Homo-oligomer: A and B are copies of this chain.
Amino acid sequence: MQYPETLNKLIQILKSLPGIGPRMAERVAMHILKMETPDINNFAYTLIDVNQKIKNCSTCHAITEIDPCEICTSTTRDTSIICIVEQPSDIFAIEKTNDFHGLYHVLNGVISPIDGISPGDLNIRTLLTRINEDVNEIIVATNPNVEGEATSIYLAKILKPLGVKISRIAHGVPVGSDLEYIDSMTILKAFEGRQKI
């Protein structure tokens, strides 16, 4: 006996999600089968809701239910600093620190010739329109890999002529880690970025 057709369809969909393998997809599908009708309907309608209600902020491209997003419309945020990130999810990671109170701008990717992504594919034009006399500093928080570095260098090159201060988040040894297990490139960056105590 094969899985019933609809169950098989559900397993295939679950298998296509990141981090869910074939065995786990079967396990999750079996769990869903045992869920109560209101819970399963809630799951289905939440999916439809997420698709219909969540959009990108027209100013900073963050994901939001209201446009412009709550950060762009906030009166308590520091509008003199803009932090540039690759993905909307990076904003939530930074917001969890409760330390950065400026604005954000989502590039929606990084420059990557190998994947055919050029500067024109990123949200750089809308970034340029946001830079006015209010803006003092741009923090580039792209990921610390080859593409992220290349993108930060590109951004520095086009933003510097606008007379704005450009900074890059520090690379170094993560808090709570063990030097023994850190790769040499990170240790190199940690030495380069050493600070007086």
Chain A: residues with CB nearer than 8 A to chain B? 1-7, 9-10, 13, 17-20, 24, 26-33, 35, 37, 40-51, 53-54, 62-65, 69-71, 87-89, 91-92, 95
Chain A, interface SS category: helix
Q: Are A41 and B33 in contact (CB under 8 A)?
A: no
Contacts A13-B46, A46-B13, A48-B44 given; does A70 touch B1 at CB 8 Å: yes
Q: Are A50 and B40 in contact (CB under 8 A)?
A: yes
User: Which listed residue, B24, B40, B50, B64, touches A48 by the CB 8 Å rule?
Assistant: B40
Q: Are A53 and B6 in contact (CB under 8 A)?
A: yes
* Contact partners of A65 in chain B: CB under 8 A: 4-6
- Complex alpha-carbon distance, A19 and B45, angstroms: 22
Min C-beta distance of A23 to chain B, whole Å = 9
Min C-beta distance of A42 to chain B, whole Å = 7
* Contact partners of A51 in chain B: CB under 8 A: 35, 37, 40-41
User: Which listed residue, B4, B19, B20, B63, touches A54 by the CB 8 Å rule?
Assistant: B4
Q: Are B3 and A33 in contact (CB under 8 A)?
A: no
Name the residue of chain B whose CB is nearest to the CB of A4: B65
User: Which listed residue, B1, B26, B37, B64, touches A4 by the CB 8 Å rule?
Assistant: B64
Name the residue of chain B whose CB is nearest to the CB of A74: B1
User: Which listed residue, B7, B26, B40, touches A63 by the CB 8 Å rule?
Assistant: B7
